[in-house]
Amino acid sequence: MDPATGPSASPTPDPPPPAPKTLENFDKPYAYRVMALLAGIVVVVMYIEGMLTPSLPTIQADFGVDTAQVSLILSAYAASGVALSPVVGKLGDIYGKRRVLVGVMLGYAAAVSVTGFSPNFTFMVAARTVQGIGLTIMPLGMALMRDEFPRELIPRAQGLLSAMFGIGFVISLPLGSFVSQDYGWRTTYHSSIPFVVLLAVLLILYTRESAYRRPNTKVDYVGAVFLAGALAGIVTALSQGQVWGWTSVPTLGFLAAGIALFVPFALYESWWTRRKREPIVDGRLLRERNVAVTNIVLTVVGLGMYLALFSLIYQFEYPPASGGYNGGFPTFNILDAGIYIVPLALGMIVFAIAVSFVVARVGVKPFAIAGSIVTALGFYLISIATTLDQALLYETVIGAGIALLNASIINLLILTVDPKDMSQATAMNNVFRNVGGSVGAPIAGSLLATYTLTSGPLAGLPAHVAFQYAFWIAAVVTLIAGVVVVFGQEVLGPSRHAKFAHLPTLARSAPPSPAPSPSGNPSGPIPGEVPVPR
């Protein structure tokens, strides 16, 4: 008998999943403690990453690099995070979300410590590459939180967590800008280390491991290496194409290598699956309608957000010039730039919290579609702004639209995917979101480097039209995201509840668990969960 297909190759079935949390049996104090810890992690990570954005011109000057090159600080972080996300997400599903999250937090703290002491630009890019492991924190955290709340409260918990991103911006931009301007951008890194370590310790002491684990699943490390290499190659080529030249040997080489690695990845995954082993990425999961819609939408939104934010920071920091350059905005230093991004964050906070309390009754799709329209409108309005007051007002519109979209759309994924696959699903969503983000920043850098003033004392600096093009592109791609939302299957709201009113609710007794599939994993819906049509 072939050992690859015989009984010895069959994995030991994983233990049956626990009954899902209900309003009557979930541990409310513990669930909210987990959410509070995750909220703290979001704020700290957003502080570290948010303070970096207004510091980019200073870092650019310190290391003597140009506008396009400095975007590598963002894209290196994104490329490594994208490559690591599928692997870390899978490890979380297998070995436990808490255990893997704690390890990631400690690794992130070490990388942050090193980055603050970067002696040159190359070292900083390398340190930021290691720091990219921080991008895997939120998928693991969201999956861990999903396990502790009943279905009815998940939209509220996710909405409040989304609001933490806005709070992180409110804290990081002015505070990070103040520290960076008065004490140097390195100090912002040094000041964050105790908080990252403290949160890792609190996770160890005050959280318990998720009940959804699959200890008998074998990790597909070879497939993980192929996939990570493919993603890293593509993201590196896309994010650095402007620096190296879109037709240069390095750009085409990284792009070709990334695409080529998908061939051995596909072949190996096919062989791995024939051995009745679970691949590093479940194709069935990615083909799920709501998962696919969420991934596409957040890819597009990530591109637009990073493109616009990168452009806006530079627009605030560059001086005005004749011919309408800089939209007539006054000249700001790094602290001013940080402060004047706050309205966007405030819009995110207020509307994310508001959405979290009503999305379960109204539904995901109305808010997500409205969010795409409002965000696109905000991008267009800020492209034609001529005064500071107008810019601040339109920023708030953008923040509101982003909150409506982000706080609602994630529920399509969270409420559709089986909890045993939640880390993998949120990690892959993180991949798509950050692929878009890693492309957005260099597109902005390319526009700012291409459309420049050709005469006068400010020759060589970006012209006003460069910023307009960036905002217009962001508006268009955001509207595309709204169109994609239409194809999703609603999981909340009155129409959903009416459609599935005859099915068992969470509060009723759960039906028998489905028989395990040949892979050892349940093939049907979680007991007691209301299934979503596929």
Tokens 């668990």 label which residue?
513
Of 143, 469, 418, the C-alpha closest to 284 is 418
Q: Tell me what pLDDT residue 84 has.
A: 84
Q: Is 25 helix (H, G, I), strand (E, B) or coil?
A: coil
Judged against a pLDDT cut of 60, whether residue 471 lies above it is answered with yes
Predicted confidence band of residue 146 (pLDDT cuts 50, 70, 90): confident
Residue-wise pLDDT for 6-41, tens only, equals 444 445 555 566 666 666 777 788 888 888 888 888
Cα 8 to Cα 154: distance, rounded to the nearest angstrom:
41
Cβ atoms of 88 and 113 within 8 Å: the answer is no
The percent of residues in the chain predicted with pLDDT above 70, rounded, is 79
Burial of 466 (0-12, 13-18, 19+ CB in 10 A): buried
Q: Tell me what pLDDT residue 450 has.
A: 78
Q: Tell me what pLDDT residue 475 has.
A: 93
Of 521, 532, 534, the C-alpha closest to 17 is 521
Q: Tell me what pLDDT residue 325 has.
A: 35
> For residue 490, what are its two tokens?
């609603």
**Top-confidence range, 59-63, 296-300, 472-476:** 472-476
The percent of residues in the chain predicted with pLDDT above 90, rounded, is 8
Q: Give the global pTM.
A: 0.72
Cβ atoms of 280 and 220 within 8 Å: the answer is yes
DSSP 116-132: TT--SHHHHHHHHHHHG
> Which residues, 6 or more positions from 94, have their beta carbon under 8 angstroms from its beta carbon?
213, 214, 215, 217, 219
Judged against a pLDDT cut of 80, whether residue 91 lies above it is answered with yes
- CB-side exposure of 458: number of CA atoms within 13 Å? 16
Q: In what helix (H) or strand (E) does residue 113 lie, and over which residues does it extend? A: helix 97-115
Predicted confidence band of residue 396 (pLDDT cuts 50, 70, 90): very high
Q: What's the chain's Rg over C-alpha atoms? A: 23
Residue-wise pLDDT for 437-461, tens only, equals 777 777 787 787 777 777 766 676 7
> Which residues, 6 or more positions from 76, have their beta carbon under 8 angstroms from its beta carbon?
125, 126, 128, 129, 132
Positions of E strands within 443-498: none
Of 192, 241, 231, the C-alpha closest to 72 is 241
Predicted confidence band of residue 486 (pLDDT cuts 50, 70, 90): very high
Higher pLDDT, 175 or 371: 371
Higher pLDDT, 260 or 228: 260
Q: Is 462 helix (H, G, I), strand (E, B) or coil?
A: strand
Cα 381 to Cα 389: distance, rounded to the nearest angstrom:
12
Poorest-confidence range of 77-91, 323-337, 357-371?
323-337
Q: Tell me what pLDDT residue 374 has.
A: 95
Q: Tell me what pLDDT residue 324 has.
A: 34
Mean pLDDT, all residues of the chain: 76
Residue-wise pLDDT for 498-528, tens only, equals 343 333 333 333 344 444 444 344 434 443 3
Judged against a pLDDT cut of 50, whether residue 263 lies above it is answered with yes
Residue-wise pLDDT for 317-363, tens only, equals 676 553 333 445 555 566 666 677 788 888 888 888 888 888 888 88
Cα 376 to Cα 401: distance, rounded to the nearest angstrom:
8
Q: Tell me what pLDDT residue 473 has.
A: 92
Cα 10 to Cα 14: distance, rounded to the nearest angstrom:
12
Poorest-confidence range of 67-71, 127-131, 181-185?
67-71
* Distances from the Cα of 332 to the Cα of 175, 319, 327, angstroms: 16, 8, 13
Q: Is 220 helix (H, G, I), strand (E, B) or coil?
A: coil
Poorest-confidence range of 88-97, 152-161, 271-280?
271-280
Buried b / exposed e across 353-383, counting CB within 10 Å, b at 16+? bbbbebbbeebbbbbbbbbbebbbbbbbbbb
Q: Tell me what pLDDT residue 533 has.
A: 41
Secondary structure of 60-88 as H, E, C letters: HHHHCCCHHHHCHHHHHHHHHHHHHHHHH
